[in-house]
Amino acid sequence: MAKRSIAVRILGAEYRIRSEADEASVRRVAALVEETMMRIRDRTQTVDTLDLAVLAALNLANDLLALRDGAEREVSGDLAPIDPDRLARLIATVEGAAAEGLELG
């Protein structure tokens, strides 16, 4: 499948994302990144978008690692199953967040 450029807005700035993923998926990822950045901005009063992006990436990576750790424990029978859709969204978000022109998938 050919990559195409999809325009998304995060905190008022436009980013063009090159991806093979469908447009709706890219927009869902962008919405999750924006939601995370807005939540951090409101909580910390941080205004620098780069700082917000780094904090959002750290928060999302923390969620991803917690899910991965949980999946490893699940294999050994220690935990209930994880939500595969949430895991896929978190992976896509961490891989696709915060840089103009970043390529996804």
Range from 52-56, 60-64, 91-95, 100-104 carrying the lowest mean pLDDT:
100-104
31 pLDDT above the threshold of 80: yes
Q: What is the pLDDT of residue 5?
A: 94
- Condensed to tens digits (0 to 9), the pLDDT of residues 42-84 reads 999 988 999 999 999 998 988 888 888 776 666 666 655 667 7
The first and second tokens of residue 21, run together, are 């993923």
91 pLDDT above the threshold of 70: no
102 pLDDT above the threshold of 50: no
Total domain count, the chain: 1
101 pLDDT above the threshold of 50: no
State the pLDDT confidence band at 100, using cuts at 50, 70 and 90. very low
Enumerate residues 6+ apart whose C-beta is below 8 A from 99. Answer: 15
Which segments of 45-83 does DSSP mark as H helices, in order? 49-75
pTM of the predicted model as reported, rounded to 2 decimal places: 0.66
3-state secondary structure of 38: helix
Range of the structural domain that residue 15 is part of: 4-104
